[in-house]
Amino acid sequence: MKPTMPDFDAPTDSELRTLWRDYTDPQVRLLILEILALRKSIERVQDWFDYVDKHIDNKGDLGGGQGPLQRLRHLLREEKQRATML
């Protein structure tokens, strides 16, 4: 049986800055940088989505109220809320 990830509150940017100041261990700092890099990646995906949503009229098979682009919109919103990015 595959273990499940426990529920947790994602650290805020302020908490990450505090962790950076308090912990000089290179592995801890690498994890903090990885969290920040992944958050920037989410923002880049959001920017791409917003561009497509605004500028591309014919979304083909990806469009529609229940299409993959709408599922992506909801996934991005949920992940940004979880990661304290909203």
pLDDT digits (tens, 9 = 90+) for 21-70: 999 999 999 999 999 999 999 999 999 999 999 998 888 888 888 889 99
Q: What pLDDT is recorded for position 60?
A: 85
Q: What is the DSSP letter of 86?
A: -
Report d(CA 10, CA 35) in Å as an integer.
Answer: 10
Q: What pLDDT is recorded for position 69?
A: 92
